[in-house]
Amino acid sequence: MSGVEVSRLRKAHAGVPVLDGLDLAAAHGELTAVIGRSGSGKTTLLRLIAGFDQPDDGTITVGGRPVRGLPAEHRRIGYVTQEGNLFPHLTVLGNVAFGLPWRRRRGRHGVRELLDLVGLDARLEHRFPHQLSGGEQQRVALARALAPQPDAVLLDEPFSALDPAIRAGTRTAVAAALAATSTTTILVTHDLSEALSLATRVALVRDGTTAQQGSPADLYLRPADAAIAAFTGEVCELPAKLLGDHAATALGSAPIPRPANGQGAVLVRPEQLVLDPAAPTHATVLGVEFRGHDGLLRLGTDDGEVTARCPAHLLPATGERVGVRLTGTALATVIPPGAAESASRRPRPDRRP
Ligand SMILES: Nc1ncnc2c1ncn2[C@@H]1O[C@H](COP(=O)(O)OP(=O)(O)OP(=O)(O)O)[C@@H](O)[C@H]1O
């Protein structure tokens, strides 16, 4: 059975196009994350799938059924927002039971099963939403969304209002409940690590369309272009000579994703620059940004400044000389017009695709 399929979706708000022929495929039983800069149309997309708004053009199918013209309440879709939107006058029991079919509402069995599924203590069932933490409220909101056994659940930044201390536990519980029920899920999030760690597929929305859709590793390691590389993680730009299928930099050579020739630059992740005393190139540590499990190093090389990532316990001190070499495949190449004459005119990659 298919999950959610969106094809050539168009929607303008107040005459301004927001979605401009967007395609998205969320596979049945999997979690698909939708990312993109603020205002790129992620919530608009979810609202069209849910049936809260109508598209100007395009098709949406949910569980293999076209949903055009179907009112939201008949689409068999659950929707969880940032605030959870629980009914304030109903207890946990009442909120979750609200999502159950009539015949199952009278017993507590179905509700208890759902609370268990989202990892919520059954003793909280008589509490009202204001007596719950934000994380507990979001678990109840998901239990309510799952109660009618929907064909798909849409999560619109469900963890962004939570304290970082409870965010990790809440999202683990939510992801486990969705996986246990094989629920087709679309998650909109601004948190890149959340998208890359929870989703089996990630779609990046840009200019009203899907700029890239693939596995988390595809977007992080094989971005479709330089802007996507910069959006999906930290990048380091190295001046390079592009030699067909690989590039030669001062820190070593690396394969490049698409053949190119001439003077330009390559983008790599900071963790691709490895400290190695035996490396032929040495650099001076200009600064250290401690991040906990690792740190970012600003390194001064003969060819300019580069950024490397290093495990926290191996971080050198500012001023030290270190050997550094490039590993892995470059993410993207930057070959601006006129680069052959002057590499210094290269534009910086835009972090906002
Ligand atoms: N009802 C509306 N009327 C007019 N414009 C709207 C309406 N809803 C959204 N927009 C506009 O459409 C664009 C896309 O909005 P949307 O909320 O879908 O983006 P988003 O990617 O979810 O943003 P964010 O990441 O900030 O939540 C924005 O420019 C927004 O101002």
Ligand 1 atom at minimal distance to the Cα of residue 47: 18
**Tokens 């191996």 belong to which residue?**
314
pLDDT at 168: 87
Cα separation of 148 and 202, whole Å?
26
Say whether pLDDT at 339 is over 60.
Answer: no
Which range is least confidently modeled, 58-62, 174-178, 248-252?
174-178
pLDDT at 69: 87
Confidence of residue 349 (pLDDT cuts 50, 70, 90): low
What's the Rg (C-alpha) of the chain? Answer: 24
Side-chain half-sphere CA neighbours of 170 within 13 A? 24
Is 50 exceeded by the pLDDT of residue 340? no
Q: Which pLDDT does position 302 carry in this prediction?
A: 86
pLDDT exceeds cutoff 70 at 109: no
For 37, the token pair is 């800069």
Q: How far is CA 273 from CA 53, 268, 276, 287, 323, in A?
A: 47, 8, 9, 15, 10
Ligand 1 atom nearest the C-alpha of 45 is 18
43 lines ligand 1 (CB under 6 A): yes
Give distance in angstroms: CA of 41 to centre of ligand 1. Answer: 6
Give me ligand 1 centre to Cα 43, in Å: 7
Q: How far is the CA of 184 from the centre of ligand 1 (A)?
A: 24
- Check if 42 has its Cβ closer than 6 Å to any atom of ligand 1: yes
Å from CA of 195 to ligand 1 middle: 20
**Ligand 1 pocket, mutate which of 9, 42, 47, 54 (most atoms under 8 A from CB):** 42
Task: Report whether 187 contacts 34 (CB < 8 A).
Answer: yes
Report whether residue 14 contacts ligand 1, using a CB cutoff of 6 Å. Answer: yes
Above 0.95 for ipTM, yes or no?
Answer: yes
Which ligand 1 atom sits closest to the C-alpha of 41? 18
277-314 pLDDT per residue, tens: 999 999 999 999 999 999 999 999 988 899 999 999 99
With a 6 Å cutoff on the Cβ, whether 216 touches ligand 1 is no
How many DSSP H helices and E strands does the chain contain? 9, 18
pLDDT on residue 122? 83
286-290: long-range pairs with CB below 8 Å, 24+ = 286/318, 287/318, 288/315, 288/316, 288/317, 288/318, 290/315
In this prediction the pTM is 0.89
Nearest CA, atom 24, ligand 1: 38
**Residue pLDDT, tens place only, 36-51:** 999 999 999 999 999 9
CA of 57 to the centre of ligand 1 (A): 18
Q: pLDDT tens digits, residue range 186-227?
A: 999 999 999 999 999 999 999 999 999 999 999 999 999 999
Tokens of residue 309, six digits: 């990532």
- Cβ-count burial of 17 within 10 angstroms (0-12 exposed, 13-18 middle, 19+ buried)? middle
Name the residue at shortest CA distance from atom 30 of ligand 1: 39
